Amino acid sequence: MDILAWLTDPSNWDGVGSIPHQVLIHLIYSIVVLAVATVIAVPLGVFVGHTGRGESLIMGSVNAMRALPTLGLLILLVLLIAPTISNSLAFVVPSLVVLVLLAVPPILSGVASGIRAIDRSVIDAARGMGFSTAQIIWRIELPCALPLTLSGVRGATLQVVSTATVAAYVSLDGLGRFIIDGRAGNDYAQMAGGAIVLALLAILLEAAFAGLGRVAISRGLTRRMPAHPAPKATAPRPRATA
Amino acid sequence: MRFDWIANNLDYLVELTGMHLWLTLLPTVIGLLVSIPLGYLAFTLRRFYPLIVGGTSLFYTIPSLALFILLPKILGTKVLDPLNVVVALVFYTVALLVRVVADGLASVPPEVVDAARGVGFTRMQILFKIQLPIAVPTILSGLRVVVVSNISIVTMAAVIGITQLGTLFTMGFTRRLFVPILAGLVICLLLALALDRLLVLLGKVMTPWSRKGAL
């Protein structure tokens, strides 16, 4: 099978342009994008979730963003920026910008809806105990919103890692390189090999997030610790039909 | 900017839009038809809910471009066959909708189902006359997400050369033309908006009881 031959060819595993090199570049792009997106989305999400303001506007634009084709936006930005900047930044900046645009909405709506879903009485209780607004946000709202926040980040990660392939279309590196070069050279083995590595990377990251959720989310919020411990079976329960 | 490009290429734009619509709608409809029985199974066999819903949503993990490229090997199609895009989008649609269908069916009040059983409805009658109609709003809201995101996923296929609205982007890039790219973006957004409105309208027609004053 030629795809297997491509994947196992030692020359594809060493040096510049090799599989590990492109995976690394792909991951670096993704991590930078997710970091920038988180810095933008979390405070905005806290604002929307905490105050309830701008909810319909934000959620509406989250939906509209889904329809916006990343490929088209990226090419448009590159054509706009390329004449003014001559180095490779002309391709890097637009790629990062469109990927951040892709990643912000899921994180934002995760944080906002996570905070909105908290039982009001929990927040009122904290305020009654003398928590300041900052304490409520840091110690109640953010930890309680963590499950939905994490699933937002997970969705964003998946989107970004899948879509970062478009960077290769505007001549940058990353796993899209194999797909674009394979297509240009009519080399199906290279295209498919790159696609398999990309899919594996996405699945691995998904699994990593599932593991992270187990570690990071307070046990009180998951079903792994029952809210009301089951009564010990010391005395036989009265039967309903007794 | 040469906006007369649009007037000169109107036929081409219509052709691409038609192709794009076809590549979006066909897999959405097939995906819905596959999701209803799967969602019903996940709903009735509660023990298998995690397996069915979790298993199908795994499809979503695979990047679209990777799927477009790997499907030819599995299906025996050519790389440029639009069928690859259709099959890939069926997978994504199922990945999103099975959960929606199962949760929609679960949202039907049990006493309504009991009442239907009491007046002698069969299992199939309960499903098609009671449960599915009541689950319509939930399923439609899932379908709206699917349709809108499918429209933008289809454009990715232009990278490997499958003709649809995304072709305007790649063509604009190679010929350094802004107008086709802008036209492609605008048509995609308009298509998404139109299909979304259409689904909302469809929902209103299918759930006449939800209209104010209907009762």
pLDDT in tens, A143-168: 999 999 999 999 999 999 999 999 99
In one-letter notation, the amino acid at residue A197 is V
Shortest CB distance from B169 goes to which of A71, A198, A206?
A71
**A176 contacts in chain B (CB < 8 Å):** 65, 159
Per-residue confidence (pLDDT) for residue A19, from 0 to 100? 95
The verdict on residue B44 lying in a domain is yes
ipTM of the complex: 0.90
Within an 8 Å CB–CB cutoff, is residue A71 touching chain B? yes
- Mutation target for A interface from B65, B99, B175: give the one with most A CBs within 10 A: B65
pLDDT exceeds 70 at position A50: yes
The verdict on residue B145 lying in a domain is yes
Residue ranges of A 96-135 with Cβ closer than 8 A to chain B = none
**Distance (Å, rounded) from C-alpha B64 to C-alpha A199?**
9
pTM, to two decimals: 0.87
**Binary contact (A180, B159; C-beta < 8 A):** yes
**B24 contacts in chain A (CB < 8 Å):** none
Q: What is the pLDDT of residues A188-242, one digit of tens each?
A: 999 999 999 999 999 999 889 888 888 888 777 775 555 454 444 444 444 444 3
**Binary contact (A68, B152; C-beta < 8 A):** yes
The verdict on residue B211 lying in a domain is no
Q: What is the pLDDT of residues A82-125, one digit of tens each?
A: 888 878 888 999 999 999 999 998 999 899 999 998 988 999 99
* DSSP label at residue B62: S
> Which is nearest to B65 in space by CA: A141, A159, A179?
A179
The verdict on residue B215 lying in a domain is no
Angle at B195 between CA B170 and CA A49, to 5 degrees: 95
Domain that holds residue B42: 3-204
**B148 contacts in chain A (CB < 8 Å):** 63, 66-67
pLDDT under 50 in chain B at which residues? none
- Mutation target for B interface from A6, A71, A204: give the one with most B CBs within 10 A: A71
Per-residue confidence (pLDDT) for residue A211, from 0 to 100? 87
The fraction of chain A above a pLDDT of 90, given in percent, is 57
The verdict on residue B209 lying in a domain is no
| Confidence bin at A179 (pLDDT 50/70/90) | very high
- Give me the CATH number covering residue B100: 1.10.3720.10
**B72 contacts in chain A (CB < 8 Å):** 188
Min distance B133 CA to chain A CA atoms (Å)? 25
Per-residue confidence (pLDDT) for residue A235, from 0 to 100? 44
Min distance B126 CA to chain A CA atoms (Å)? 31
Per-residue confidence (pLDDT) for residue A98, from 0 to 100? 95
Q: How many domains does chain B have?
A: 1
Write a three-state SS string for chain A: CHHHHHHHCHHHCCCCCCHHHHHHHHHHHHHHHHHHHHHHHHHHHHHHHHHCCCHHHHHHHHHHHHHCCHHHHHHHHHHHHCCCCCCCHHHHHHHHHHHHHHHHHHHHHHHHHHHHCCCHHHHHHHHHCCCCHHHHHHHHHHHHCHHHHHHHHHHHHHHHHHHCCHHHHCCCCCCHHHHHHHHHCCCHHHHHHHHHHHHHHHHHHHHHHHHHHHHHCCHHHCCCCCCCCCCCCCCCCCCCCC
pLDDT exceeds 80 at position A40: yes
Min distance B180 CA to chain A CA atoms (Å)? 10
Per-residue confidence (pLDDT) for residue A220, from 0 to 100? 77
Within an 8 Å CB–CB cutoff, is residue A202 touching chain B? yes
The verdict on residue B39 lying in a domain is yes
Q: What chain A residue is nearest to B72 in terms of C-alpha separation?
A: A192
Q: What is the pLDDT of residues B161-209, one digit of tens each?
A: 999 999 999 999 999 999 999 999 999 999 999 999 999 999 999 888 8
**Binary contact (A162, B65; C-beta < 8 A):** yes
Domains, chain A: 30-172 (1.10.3720.10)
Shortest CB distance from B70 goes to which of A161, A195, A203?
A195
Shortest CB distance from B176 goes to which of A79, A169, A196?
A79
**Binary contact (B63, A165; C-beta < 8 A):** yes
Per-residue confidence (pLDDT) for residue A63, from 0 to 100? 73
The verdict on residue B214 lying in a domain is no
Range A25-39 average pLDDT: 96
CB contacts < 8 A (A, B): 131
The verdict on residue B7 lying in a domain is yes
Min distance B176 CA to chain A CA atoms (Å)? 7
Burial class of A133 by CB neighbour count within 10 A (0 to 12, 13 to 18, 19+): exposed
